Amino acid sequence: MTQLQRLSVRSHEQVAPGVFLLCLSGGLTALPGQFVMVSVLPDSVPLSLRERPGEGFEPATALPACDPLLRRPLSVHDCRPGELVLLYRVAGRGTVLLAGRKPGDSVDVLGPLGQGFPLSASRQAILVAGGIGVAPLFYLARTLLEAGREVLFLFGAGEQAGLYRRRELALSGAEVRLATDDGSAGFHGPVTGLLREALGRNQGAVFACGPEPMLQAVAELCRAAERECIVSLEARMACGVGACLGCVVPVRRHGLAVYRRTCTEGPVFRAEEVYSCNPTCP
């Protein structure tokens, strides 16, 4: 169930230049592929009138901070009872503010949100991550492995430093294959260069998250190989809960092109629904 909670920072470390691993303690149960909307506003400012009369500041006159105005969507990178882990790249004002949180500070989190990855009964699975796209796939890999599935994890980035959390991934028991554009680690070239071969020896569905061109290339290869392909998309969001209609993507359903909300009907979609569709439709 979606909840609004204040979680406290258990640890917060930089795992690569500009990339942070944020461990929060608190009870939030999420499925792989789901995300949360995080308030990046500094802890010291009363976020809202949530505090009750008589407990500290006066609700009627408390002024909530309002800039940056919106919460930021971040994927669930890992989730265990009492712990929620996020992995994020500093991309602008909001994530810069978030990066300033210290252990013990609290973070206002709305979630879990969206649809998780569909877990088929298949014994095998191929996960394809590009850069920070590893965020939701890490939790998916762990979940699949714990269910006894065989996971082939293809991980691409511009350079070695962009292969975040690759050691932890390898330790989790997934078979990890790396690719970098500059050849500093693994295959020299795009991660899709690994996918062709992978499709030949692993019969499982493909789950992908990463930059748009990568997702399109993965979808194309899967279509040619007639392999099920699931992608996790990003969209600019305002509410995260389905109310504002701000985050839509054109999707093909039963032959018809319609706008679907990334936050509630996604962020996980079947590749053929989103990539067979002309972006200017419907």
Partner 1 sequence: MQPDLSVKIGRLELKNPVMPASGCFGYGEEYEQFYDLGRLGAIVVKGTTAEARPGNPAPRVAETPAGLLNAIGLQNPGTEEARLKIRRLARYGVPVIVNVAGHNTAEYCSVVEALSAETAVAAFEINVSCPNVAEGGLSFGTDPRTVFRLAGELRKLTEKTLIVKLTPNVTDITEIARAAAEAGADALSLINTLLGMAIDTRSRRPLLANLTGGLSGPAVKPVAVRMVWQVAGCVDLPVIGMGGICCANDALEFMLAGASAVAVGTANFSNPLVCPEIIDGLAVYCREQGFSAVRELVGLARRPAAHKAGGTGGCGRK
Ligand X SMILES: Cc1cc2nc3c(=O)[nH]c(=O)nc-3n(C[C@H](O)[C@H](O)[C@H](O)COP(=O)(O)OP(=O)(O)OC[C@H]3O[C@@H](n4cnc5c(N)ncnc54)[C@H](O)[C@@H]3O)c2cc1C
Ligand Y SMILES: Cc1cc2nc3c(=O)[nH]c(=O)nc-3n(C[C@H](O)[C@H](O)[C@H](O)COP(=O)(O)O)c2cc1C
Q: Taking Cα atoms as reference points, which of 93, 71, 95, 70 lies closest to residue 19?
A: 95
Tokens of 242: 């389905």
CB of 238 to ligand Y, least distance (A): 6
* Rounded distance between C-alpha atoms, residue 207 and residue 26, angstroms: 28
Interface residue with partner 1, options 116, 131, 240, 267 (CB under 8 A) = 240
Tokens of 35: 């995300």
CB of 243 to ligand Y, least distance (A): 8
Nearest to ligand Y of 171, 244 (CB atom)? 244
Site for ligand X in 233-252 (CB under 6 A): 234-237
Rg (CA), the chain: 19
CB of 46 to partner 1, least distance (A): 9
Interface residue with partner 1, options 61, 81, 148, 254 (CB under 8 A) = 61
> Site residues (CB under 6 A) for ligand Y?
244, 246
* Rounded distance between C-alpha atoms, residue 94 and residue 117, angstroms: 27
Using DSSP's 3-state secondary structure scheme, residue 230 falls into: strand
* Rounded distance between C-alpha atoms, residue 275 and residue 191, angstroms: 19
- The answer to whether 94 contacts ligand X (rule: CB under 6 A) is yes
234 contact, one of partner 1, ligand X, ligand FES, none, CB 5-8 Å limit per kind: ligand X
**Are the CB atoms for 95 and 14 separated by under 8 Å?**
no
CB of 41 to ligand Y, least distance (A): 18
**Are the CB atoms for 107 and 69 separated by under 8 Å?**
no
- The answer to whether 258 contacts partner 1 (rule: CB under 8 A) is yes
Interface residue with ligand FES, options 191, 240, 249, 267 (CB under 6 A) = 240
CB of 240 to partner 1, least distance (A): 8
